[in-house]
Structure 1
Amino acid sequence: CLPAKPGTFTKDNESCDIRPHPVTFLAGGEKEVCRPGFYKSTPGNARCSKCPPHSYTHHDGAVHCSCEKDFFRAAGDSQSMACTRPPSPPGNVISVINETSVILEWSWPADTGGRKDVTFNVVCKRCGPGQLQCEPCRGAVRFLPRATGLRNTTVTVTDLLAHTNYTFEIEALNGVSTLARAQRQFAAVTITTNQAAPSPVTVIRKDRTSRNSISLSWLEPERPNGIILDYEVKYYEKQEQETSYTILRSKGTNVTLSGLKPDTSYLLQIRARTAAGYGAPSRKFEFETSPDSFSISSENSQVVLIAISSAVAIIVLTVVLYILISRLCGYSKSKHPDEKRLHFGNGHLRLPGIRTYVDPHTYEDPSQAVHEFAKELDASGITIDKVVGAEGPGQGWDKGRAEHMCVMESSSRESRGLGMGDEVMGWHVAATAADVH
């Protein structure tokens, strides 16, 4: 039909009205009004439609049908769609316990509520001796693949506490569950966990590598949860991506992997086993063999490092001591500038003059005093060369003391490795004289 002017239509063609209308014009010009149980939600000359399932109308000329009690339409549902309701609880819940983890399985709800968008939520509760003492699970409890929005009828729950009661509520939901005011409908199952398996190994060390082997050691798990029976070591070439792997078992916390390829990277995982079973495997550790026959031991490397450090420390200490001694010797020599330094000549050690002051008061003969302190010299070769302080009375002494100097000359100079003309040794012999005049 064509409008007579913008926004209006001809009087003889009311079927051109674009608004929803409960009246339908038939071919003979008769009008049909939608009676109860029928509706017309679209404009035009379409016939009245019967209300979708679980909906109704109580009066003539309805443009939509209302949902029955406990039935709903989601926000995205059209008026032609049936009213739906939340699904019934899942059925046949089965639990499979493995130490501190559990696999939950259930069947599809007997009544999906007339919808296909059914999902499942799993709620975990930790319970005491009585069912009324339950509280939400906390800590590191994990759900695989997840706890909400599940489209499959199975879930795995891990990292539970050992010897603990848990209740799991499995609820089925669909697109109109949030519109229902009824109490939650769910299926519940209560389980008790067994002894916990050991926690993963977290620290692995490489002790030694060679062309064809790697020696490893590791620390026990932080939570062994019992006596560890053995360890399972799984390793494979990094390039193989676990398509071909080798498994070893070790009673202790060390193992040597042999028969490896040179200059090749390997990935390795370790897990511990107790009476409760195997624990979770460790993260993947990467190790590499040596490119040649040279091998390195962590213990040997530590020994070499300690030896090098000790040598450096000794050298530094020696240099410091040498500097200190040199300074002390320099200070001592600065106080005695008349002393001669030791020197070598013609392959013989040349000694400086040594002066020893002796009180000859206890000796009648100065030669005897000298011989007492130089027994290696022949007494017949010792003569008194000069007497100091004998020139005159009272010269240079206020307290009446005289000093006699005896200079020894040995006839065996050559036998002692001394050259002719060298002074062997000089003594100042201090002799007490009563009132020298």
Structure 2
Amino acid sequence: MYCSTEGEWLVPIGKCLCDIGHESRGVTCQVCRPGFYKSSPGNLRCSKCPPHSHAHLEGSAHCSCEKNFFRSETDPTSMACTRPPSSPRNVISIINETSVILDWGWPADSGGRKDVTFNVVCKRCSAGKRQCEACRGAVRFLPRPTGLSNTTVTVADLLAHTNYTFEIEALNGVSPLAPAHRQFTAVTITTNQAAPSPVTVIRKDRTSRNSISLSWLEPERPNGIILDYEVKFYEKQEQETSYTILRAKGTNVTLNGLKPDTVYLLQIRARTAAGYGASSRKFEFETSPDSFSISGENSQVMLIAISSAVAIILLSVVVYLLLGSRFCGYSKSKHPDEKRLPFGNGHLRLPGIQTYVDPHTYEDPSQAIHEFARELDASCIAIDKVVGAGEFGEVCSGRLKQPSKKETSVAIKTLKAGYTETQRRDFLSEASIMGQFDHPNIIRLEGVVTRSKPVMIVTEYMENGSLDSFLRRHDAQFTVIQLVGMLRGIASGMKYLSDMGYVHRDLAARNILVNSNLVCKVSDFGLSRVLEDDPEAAYTTRGGKIPIRWTAPEAIAYRKFTSASDAWSYGIVVWEVMSYGERPYWEMSNQDVIKAVDEGYRLPPPMDCPATLYQLMLDCWQKERNNRPKFDQIVSILDKLIRNPGSLKIIANAPSRENMLLDRTGADITTFRSMRDWLESMQTLPCKDIFNGATYSSCNTLAKTSAEIYLAEVRPAATCPEWEPAMGITTL
């Protein structure tokens, strides 16, 4: 109470407020029941505990979280308790020389929160070491390694031919409150060969009036064996308008024929099997004004260092040759009198340039096997189970254990008993082809067994099997960028084959294998086999069997197989991937496919297919083979799409599969002046009378009206399928 100006006691205006943990019931405040809470004073009612929380006692100001559920300091008491997210899913790695693009799917369980971010941890795993060490040096993450809100990151400036493990960890607002248990998915990759880094140190050893002798240090990252160096020099005053290029096998060169007392600019770049690296910065040197020479103070030191390096290399080669023959699975099984010439069986092998050699050109086919495939000891191979059957025998999974190497999982093709010599030669010819390839997107040959029975071809094991079956098992479970990553890997493998001069002739999703990291690898390098699992998949011609649905028109008609026909097949593979393993051309017969394609018909875009990818398919299906993109262009296109995911958001219009057969080159119906003209052009005399009685206001309404008549009157009694495309009828 308080006193008024008139001296009277007044009762204050207002009412009682219930304290925390209490609610108003009439004129009294009552304690909140178990399972309810009230976190602030006032006359509001007690609230029920939010999900995954509880209040066992009366008068609770807040609800405690259940076990393994948490509430961060910034979460209001009314918010449900949440938990850390599960691990990221479906990690895919796209390797490009010494960089890798990592892409992954969103965790299956976000923990009930929307603030999920990702961290990427890079570890370098050296051969022979059980534990990996954190990546050091100039490894770059784009955009960054931590706090990622998107599901993709690019890691650049890795070392060539090196194993790396990347751990992609998912976190949210309560991850720091959870017990020390990281939610991550790991993927292990091996970087490819790459061009060498620039030469950074060049020394002047000697100068004269007309020459300069130079030496330099090998690049910090050679990324392979240095084949040679390119030395480019020119007079400074000419500003590179006229220059000279020399090739040097070692790390020194003498530039002759120079002008006295003149300044020259010089750049050097190194070359490996992967190509030339970046050029060095421009170094400036000057010839002497007179005839005396100046020797560099470090010339003797450099000479001693180079001599020592050569001696060490020679010693290493000798030791390797002495010990190499003892290793299980590495013998080449040469005849004692066989001589190794630089022209293997008449095939010139240029240093640093890989070219494909057709094993069928060898007079003795077994020589090709010994040339390109390693002979394995059968005791090194353990067969676990039969996983399938091929034309020549069974396909098994197993393990390969070689001395000083850890045991690896392998796939084993066996040659069935009772084979003929021709069957043995055909069986091993695939190994002779496969053994020439070394690329992360080409199936790797481990070796062959030819000295004992059964005869075997041993390759790396691909856990997820063929791409078409894998996609059908995981329908609609991948992001578009992951599918593009798979396609990029296939294109990269095909670019390698194309560069080597090899034409695959049977590129299809069934011949692409997928490993546990979702890396796709091209396999199946023998078209001579019969496709027993699918009698419709091959079409017999005088020259052998052809997989019609995947083959370019010129290859079907004239057996003209080139990298351009492989590009056509690649377009079909893109369609298979984007449709999750659907059969190209569905139930159409091979003859119908040949006729339709020859008349200009093309597959429609799969559902939800980006327009850019469908345009790539159409480019691959150009009738003129010279207009189809090369595989290096395809790789470049896919790289741009991966770097710019926004370009994949525009979806191609997807007509039904029946509209696929709409003839784009057919005559325009509005060009006919009468119904009979149109009927005559359709050449369907048995059905004319039904349409002759109808009247039309204009030719523009002809297709619509005739379609209605056809569906209502004709189709139940007769079959006129040749009309349906022209009338826009999409029901078969």
Q: TM-score, normalised by structure 1?
A: 0.47
Higher percent of residues as strand: 1
Higher percent of residues as helix: 2
Greater relative CO (CA pairs within 8 A, separation 6+): 1
- Radius of gyration: which is bigger? 1
Q: TM-score, normalised by structure 2?
A: 0.29
